[in-house]
Structure 1
Amino acid sequence: MHDFNFFGGGWMMFFWWFLIIVLVIFAIRAVINSGQSNQSQHKETPMDILKRRYTNGEIDKEEFQRRKQELQK
């Protein structure tokens, strides 16, 4: 016969499964939240985008100066 009073019996088994599920949920939320915070840290400003486009040759110097003045207003 099995002695279910060992370490609290069935309630202790329920507690361990509950604890494992809660830890998995916290781990998943931590991974998701870390991904979102990295995205918000790397958000480009309009000036960054303008500089990148000028550097890549997408716009010429006159266009860069005009748009830069517009952004600084």
Structure 2
Amino acid sequence: MMYGYGPGWMWMILMPVVWVALIAVIVWAVARFVQRPAETGRQVRETPQEILDRRFALGEIDAQEYRRARAHLAGRDPDQS
């Protein structure tokens, strides 16, 4: 009698499935943690004040325009000052 063939055939089928699943989970985890937030579709939005500051720093607007826009953002009317 051969008693050694009990659960062996099941392990031969199950082990490759377990290894493929384990490798898939590892690849998914590495890809998930390596991604930067901008690549996931969640972009950080600048506030209007930050956009204004950046444009002034890059020289896109002059000091007078910067002060006028800043007063407008603060809710003051720069033309009445």
Question: More helix per residue: 1 or 2?
Answer: 1
Structure of higher CA gyration radius: 2
**Runs of 4+ with >6 A deviation:** none
Q: Which position in structure 2 is the counterpart of 1:36?
A: 37
Q: Which position in structure 2 is the counterpart of 1:68?
A: 70
Corresponding residue pairs, total? 66
Q: Which position in structure 1 is the counterpart of 2:78?
A: none
Q: Which position in structure 1 is the counterpart of 2:17?
A: 14
Shift of 1:30: 2.5
RMSD of aligned C-alpha atoms? 2.8
Identity %: 35
- Normalised to the residue count of structure 1, the TM-score between the two structures is 0.64
Unpaired stretches in structure 2, ≥5 consecutive residues:
76-81
Unpaired stretches in structure 1, ≥5 consecutive residues:
none
* Higher RCO structure (Cα 8 Å, ≥6 apart): 1
